[in-house]
């Protein structure tokens, strides 16, 4: 399993969280694409995916899903999850959601 793209986040205690997005692939027989992602926390791993009508939409949906997961995590809610020293993780959210909705 090779990452297509990844983002490195940090926790305020110096540990790292890595999000890896795999290359979107056609979901055979479903007329859609699937993009899997993995969040590697220092003490756990979470894998999920996003679907879309094409590879771009599948990747964007995977980014939105992972962002919601990160913000709703204990670390996200506590404000200890950072990207480039900021609480803004630089990932999209679906629809009208805002990072403040997860606090």
pLDDT in tens, 17-75: 999 999 999 988 888 999 999 999 999 999 999 999 999 999 999 999 999 999 999 99
62 contacts 21 by C-beta, under 8 angstroms: yes
Sign of CA dihedral 87, 93, 98, 103: negative
**What is the CATH class of 5-94?**
alpha beta
Query: Is residue 74 classed as helix, strand or coil in its secondary structure?
Result: helix
Question: Confidence class of residue 97 from pLDDT cuts 50, 70 and 90?
Answer: confident
pTM (two decimals): 0.92
Give the pLDDT score at 1.
Answer: 63
Q: How far is 24 from 34, CA to CA, in rounded Å?
A: 5
Give the start-to-end residue ranges of the domains of the chain.
5-94
Q: How far is 2 from 80, CA to CA, in rounded Å?
A: 28
């Amino acid at each position: 399993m090779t990452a297509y793209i990844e983002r490195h986040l940090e926790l305020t205690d110096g540990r790292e969280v890595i999000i890896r997005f795999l290359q979107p692939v056609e979901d055979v027989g479903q007329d859609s694409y699937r993009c899997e992602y993995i969040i590697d926390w220092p003490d756990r791993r979470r894998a999920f995916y996003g679907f879309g009508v094409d590879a771009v939409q599948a990747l964007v949906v995977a980014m939105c899903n992972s962002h919601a997961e990160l913000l709703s995590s204990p670390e996200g809610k506590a404000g200890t999850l950072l990207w480039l020293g900021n609480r803004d993780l630089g990932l999209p959210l679906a629809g009208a959601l805002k990072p403040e909705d997860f606090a």
